[in-house]
Amino acid sequence: MKTHYSRIALGTLISAISLSIASPAFAQFAKPEDAVKYRQSTFALMGAHMGRLAAVVKGETPYNKDNVVRNAAIISMLSGMPWQAFGAGTEGGKAQPNIWTDGAKFKSASEKMQAAVADLNSAAQSGNPENLKKALGAASQTCKACHDDFRKK
C-alpha cells in the first residue's frame, strides 16, 4: 500500500507542477527574493535525488530499480524548473553576475544539463546499473561545469 500511495503522491505532484509550468503566472514571482529561494530550492532537491542515485552507483545503497527510476524521474522533472527564476532583479544567492552578462553560455549549460538528465532518466528506466553509472557521471559533469562557471564559490 505504501508504494501505491507514494506513486499517487508523486503523480499528483508532477501533475500540479506541470499545470503550474503551463501557466504564464507561474513564471512571475512576488519579489526577486522569492525567485532566488525558488531556484535554490529546486537545485537543492535535484542535488538530494542525485545523491540518492550516487549512493546506489557507489554501492552504499542497494540497487532497487523502482527507487532508481523514481529518483531519476524527479530529477528529470525538476531539471526544467529553475531557469525561469533567473530573471532580471534576481541577482542574489550563489549566482555569479555572468549568468546575466553571458546569457547564451548560461542557456547552453542549462540545456546540456537537461539533456544529460533526460539520458539519466532513460538509463534509470533501462534497469542496467552500468548504464545508470555512466549517465549519472555525465549528468554530474554538466552540473559541475555549470557550478564552475556560474556559481559563487
Per the CB < 8 A criterion, the answer to whether 72 and 52 are in contact is no
135 vs 19, more confident: 135
Band the pLDDT of 23: cuts 50, 70, 90: very low
Q: How many whole angstroms separate alpha carbon 99 and alpha carbon 26?
A: 21
Instruction: Provide the pLDDT for residue 8.
Output: 55
Over residues 100-130, the pLDDT tens digits come to: 999 999 999 999 999 999 999 999 999 999 9
Question: pTM of the entire structure?
Answer: 0.81
Instruction: Provide the pLDDT for residue 9.
Output: 52
Instruction: Provide the pLDDT for residue 17.
Output: 52
Domains detected in the chain: 28-150 (1.20.120.10)
Over residues 58-82, the pLDDT tens digits come to: 999 999 999 999 999 999 999 999 9
Band the pLDDT of 49: cuts 50, 70, 90: very high
Q: How many whole angstroms separate alpha carbon 57 and alpha carbon 51?
A: 10
Enter the DSSP assignment of 93.
T
